[in-house]
């Protein structure tokens, strides 16, 4: 039996089409408590920049000025083009880990198995989280997904905070 996954999308006013929102100032829900990934969008959002490039392709904006919106993990869910996405290492790494930038394929989203990451089994004796155990848990979780069999349930919120969903097949 295939394993399925639910992915939470940050609210986007243009249908997750790989473009900056048409009206960024009106889109306050993407920075709310129900957004993925947590506070990242709220902390890194630059409304002046979004207003300047509103409605434009994230790929074209990146090619012009090398800037990536913090909603890059879900903004491309229904796009026909690739975009660039990035992940900054968290402060608690306290090492030389660098920012990771990658091409996000058309019609793709990023997710993380939160429940797997906060189980007791991935903690150290002092209560901190063990990176190696968390990585192993994530790999085990994602290894259960089967191309052309597993479904991805996209959970989105509307402006009233209501959740809705639709299922997409996992493609190879």
How many CB atoms are closer than 10 A to CB 13? Answer: 19
Of 4, 1, 3, whose CA–CA distance to 167 is shortest? 4
Highest mean predicted confidence (pLDDT) among 29-33, 40-44, 92-96: 40-44
Q: Number of folded domains in the chain?
A: 1
Tell me the per-residue pLDDT of 105-116, one tens digit each, with 9 for 90 and over.
999 998 888 888
pTM: 0.79
Q: How confident is the model at residue 162 (pLDDT cuts 50, 70, 90)?
A: very low
Tell me the per-residue pLDDT of 69-80, one tens digit each, with 9 for 90 and over.
999 999 999 999
- Residue 101 domain boundaries: 5-169
- What average pLDDT does the chain have? 85
Mean pLDDT score, 62-68: 96
């Amino acid at each position: 039996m295939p394993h399925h996954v639910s992915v939470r999308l940050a609210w986007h006013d243009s249908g997750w089409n790989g473009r900056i929102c048409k009206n960024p100032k009106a889109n306050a829900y993407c920075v709310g408590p129900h957004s993925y990934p947590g506070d990242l969008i709220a902390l890194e959002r630059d409304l002046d920049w979004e207003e300047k490039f509103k409605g434009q392709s994230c790929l074209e904006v990146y090619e012009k000025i090398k800037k990536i919106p913090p909603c890059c993990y879900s903004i491309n869910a229904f796009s026909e083009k690739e975009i660039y996405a990035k992940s900054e290492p968290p402060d608690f790494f306290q090492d030389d880990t660098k920012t990771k930038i990658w091409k996000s394929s058309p019609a793709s989203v990023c997710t993380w198995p939160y429940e797997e990451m906060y189980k007791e089994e991935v903690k150290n004796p002092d209560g901190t989280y063990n990176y190696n155990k968390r990585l192993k848990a994530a790999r085990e979780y994602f290894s259960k997904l089967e191309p052309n069999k597993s479904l991805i349930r996209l959970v989105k919120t509307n402006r009233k905070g209501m959740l809705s969903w639709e299922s997409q097949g996992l493609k190879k």
